[in-house]
Amino acid sequence: MEWKNIYRGILMGISDLIPGVSGGTIAFILGIYDRLLESISGFFSRDWRKYLGFLVPLGLGIVITLLLFSRVIEYLLEQYYEATQFFFMGLIIGVIPYIMKQAEVKKNFTSRHLIILVVIGAALAVTAFIPTEEDLAPITSLTLPVFFLLFFSGWLASMAMLLPGISGSFILLLLGVYSTAINALSTLNIPVALAIGAGVIVGFIVSSKAIQYLLEHFTYVTYAAIIGLIIGSLFVVFPGFSADSDTLITSLVTFALGLAFTLLFSSPKKTAITEEFN
């Protein structure tokens, strides 16, 4: 068992709780994105046992975070929204040079790749201006229509979680079920949590195989799309500059901490995705 994956799972779990921040981006920062896709896809094959050592500690860290930190994240976003968002902006900006280096942008990108990058980045940035249903009362009981709503919401959110730049929580926010998911975790509403979780599992299976295929057969086009998604996510996360000087200073400090964290873990020694698939 790779028990160090527990802390990686904790970091991914925290990011998945926050609208606008992608667990896939955190996986990139930690240098495990390629193994994550391979392990999720491989777990649903005849060789599933060999992936347990990677996935079990990672999944344990994510579950621990979802159960223990959902209320903490709610508190931070309510009381220190700007500072929390700036921390994640630091994380996101810090990973961009690392991914560009892995893709060898100067060597492999053409005008076509740059157009894809800009278009996809702009498309995601536009979602920052889409009104969401975050004020809806959380769903606390299940009916059959509600089950399917939560199931497919979890499915779409999990597909987003694996793509750097797209936040699964933001997808839930757009669908009007984010408050339901957070409430189910913080109050241990098992039926509601299982309905969403079932969709998440199915989404992971489908999206991991799809992303693996794209990275193998359309490597640099996929890289261009991923970089565009990450850059576009900055517009989703950006909370604006506070007029309060104390809040602004705190936000700049947390931004620096997020940036430093990324630079610490985005080591050149991390395995490149292209080495895995080419």
Lowest mean pLDDT among 51-55, 67-71, 100-104: 67-71
Distance between CA atoms of residues 271 and 278, nearest Å: 13
What is the maximum span of the chain, computed from C-alpha positions, in angstroms?
A: 58
Are 172 and 158 in contact by the 8 Å Cβ rule? The answer is no
Do the domain assignments include residue 166? yes
Beta carbons within 10 angstroms of residue 138's beta carbon: 16
User: Is 253 exposed, middle or buried (CB count within 10 Å of its CB: 0-12, 13-18, 19+)?
Assistant: middle
Do the domain assignments include residue 274? no
Do the domain assignments include residue 215? yes
Confidence band of 182 (pLDDT split at 50, 70, 90)? confident
Do the domain assignments include residue 83? yes
Beta carbons within 10 angstroms of residue 211's beta carbon: 22
**In the structure encoding, which two tokens stand for residue 166, read together?**
């797209």
State the total domains in the chain. Answer: 1
pLDDT greater at residue 14 or residue 106: 106
Query: Domain range spanning residue 76?
Result: 4-265
Cα end-to-end span (Å), the chain: 27
Average pLDDT, the chain: 84
240 Cβ partners below 8 Å, 6+ apart? 82
**In the structure encoding, which two tokens stand for residue 100, read together?**
């560009």
Statement: the pTM of the whole predicted model exceeds 0.75: no
| Beta strands in 62-173, from DSSP E residues, in sequence order | none
Do the domain assignments include residue 272? no
Do the domain assignments include residue 193? yes
Helix orientation angle between 81-103 and 245-265, rounded to the nearest 10 degrees: 30
pLDDT greater at residue 134 or residue 1: 1
Closest CA to 66 of 205, 170, 183: 183
Do the domain assignments include residue 271? no
Do the domain assignments include residue 120? yes
| % of the chain at pLDDT higher than 90 | 32
| % of the chain at pLDDT higher than 70 | 91
- pLDDT surpassing 60 at residue 134: no
**In the structure encoding, which two tokens stand for residue 278, read together?**
């080419």
